[in-house]
Amino acid sequence: MPSSSATSQRLTDRKRRAIIEAAIEEFRLSGYETTSMDRIAARAAVSKRTVYNHFPSKEVLFAQILHHLWQAIAGGEEVVYRHDRPLREQLLELIAQKFRLLNDEAFVSLARVAIAAGIHSPERAQQMVERMGEREEGLTVWIRAAAAAGRLNTKDPVFASHQLQGLIKGFAFWPQITLAQPPLDAAAQKQVAESAVDMFLAYYA
């Protein structure tokens, strides 16, 4: 028979998942400003106190949703630097993960919500960027490891990471967010990924 603590933990996990799922729908349907913790609690069928026990603020909850989407799409697996594999092959895997996120309808919808919220509040935008930026850290860590191994020539892995992200987002994020263009198809993704990685390696490798 499961212990009372294990049963309690499962209940807590279910409530947390319910809150995240409810928040995703509320943010997508109502936008950031209109969505409240009360509305999220009502949709999740939990108390407002329970929502705050899991997430101390709406900003933290929103950032956690983006992390949740990333983990669901990427399968929770990070591409770690390997000294015994070609750099190009590893980078293309990292970019493939990024495309899975950028092509997800829920992520794109929430990105629009975040950008709209940031326009009205630069301070809030900065907080969101800082929290959301954690999802880009995997590429930065990979670049730092490759540089430490002497395979990339950069003293600023964060800057190099932002450069590569920019090459991808210029085709697979901003046109979809600002112009409502459809996600890139497989052929376009391959072209963007390979050209971006080749440009990156031509400068840094």
CA 106 to chain CA centroid, Å, is 11
Q: Tell me: the pLDDT tens digits for 184-205? A: 999 999 999 999 999 999 999 9
Two tokens at 130? 């800082």
Please give, one letter per residue, the 3-state secondary structure of 157-205: HHHHHHHHHHHHHHHHCHHHHHHCCCCCCHHHHHHHHHHHHHHHHHHHC
**All domains of the chain in start order, with CATH:** 1-56 (1.10.10.60), 62-204 (1.10.357.10)
Interacting residues of 95 by C-beta distance below 8 A, sequence separation 6+: 168, 193, 196, 197
**pLDDT tens sequence for the chain (205 residues):** 556 677 778 878 899 989 988 988 888 888 888 889 999 999 999 999 999 999 999 888 887 877 776 666 555 557 789 999 999 999 999 999 889 888 887 777 777 777 777 666 667 666 656 655 555 578 888 999 999 999 999 999 999 999 999 999 999 988 988 888 888 999 999 999 999 999 999 999 9
How far apart are the C-alpha atoms of 177 and 69, rounded to whole Å?
A: 17
CA-closest candidate to residue 43, choices 75, 69, 19: 19
